[in-house]
Chains A and B, each alone.
Chain A
Amino acid sequence: MKECRDIQELIPWYIEGVLGSEESVRVSSHLAVCEACREDLAVTMRLRLEVRGALEALPELPASARTNTMKGTQGRPLAKLDVGSFLVGLSLGANLRNRNIPMRGDLRVLGRTIPLFNTARKGGRT
């Protein structure tokens, strides 16, 4: 019974696939010979699916939270200039963050962004 309790305690992480190899082998070997623990495995798998489904069904974090966070960290956008195309382009931006106006410039090449300068980095963050 003690072994069953130990195994049933590990089953949630066995299902997640995050047990160490030794513990994982221990659970697998026990499951092969114990019907009660196999039943617990099935119940736990069902619970996991239901809990995940219910949590995923919660309304998403509102988009306003993103706007608020970015304003509080990166500042309020003052000006942004994008030139070029998807293949090669240049972005220049200036934000208002507290009383500073950090500026940044990025080069875009084939969809990748390569930072050119960012005055916020040198000035430190607030």
Chain B
Amino acid sequence: MQSDRELLTKVADGDESAFERLYDRFADRVYRYAFTILRDRHLAQEVAQETMTAIWKGATRFAGRSKASTWIFGIARNQALSLRRKESRTETSPEIAGVEPDPSSQILRQQRVLEAMKRLPDDQREVVFLTFYEGLPYKQIARMLEIPEGTVKSRMFHAKRKLAEVLS
């Protein structure tokens, strides 16, 4: 299987099938990341589309200094934050959990977890996603968010405490 970096290099060369593979590998992850930031599925979908389009147009700008995934999530983050700024002017109310109520206990538990995530400050919720869902090292998260490594660790520490308290 080709690495993310190899695919990006091909995309930079205009390889459409490489772009399709990259899309299949990342679009849904970008969507979930955007949902974590924006808490709105429609806006998250918009971010996923915009991000993938930006990758197609700007793959030549990937300098290879970071992991391809870090670069891609960095683009997604900028798109999401820019959309959030725009949307804050039109006052939308974030979705509570993003899934419909369901009587099954597993689904109820998942909704409770998403609700607990929602209660975290934005900056902590984002670090939780990048760590627990994407498995990115704290050093990469720090580079991506342009914050000190200690801040990443501290945000995660406090987020963990809050989640444990709410979900215990």
Contacts and interface: CB of A to CB of B under 8 A. Distances in A.
| Chain A residues touching B, range | 35 or more
B56 A125 contact: yes
* Interface of chain B: mostly helix, strand, loop or mixed: helix
Interface in A3-51: 5, 8-10, 12-13, 16-19, 43-44, 47-48, 50-51
Contacts of B129: 55
Contact of B110 (A10, A57, A120): A57
Given A13-B131, A51-B128, A104-B16, A19 B160 contact: no
Interface of A: 5, 8-10, 12-13, 16-19, 43-44, 47-48, 50-55, 57-62, 65-66, 68-70, 72-74, 104, 106, 113, 115, 118, 120-121, 124-126
Given A16-B135, A57-B99, A125-B56, 8 more contacts: A8-B157, A16-B131, A47-B160, A59-B99, A60-B28, A70-B23, A73-B52, A104-B16
Interface of B: 13-17, 19-20, 23, 27-28, 31-32, 35-36, 41, 45, 48-49, 52-53, 56-57, 98-99, 107, 109-111, 113-114, 117, 128-129, 131-133, 135-138, 153-154, 156-157, 160, 163-164, 167
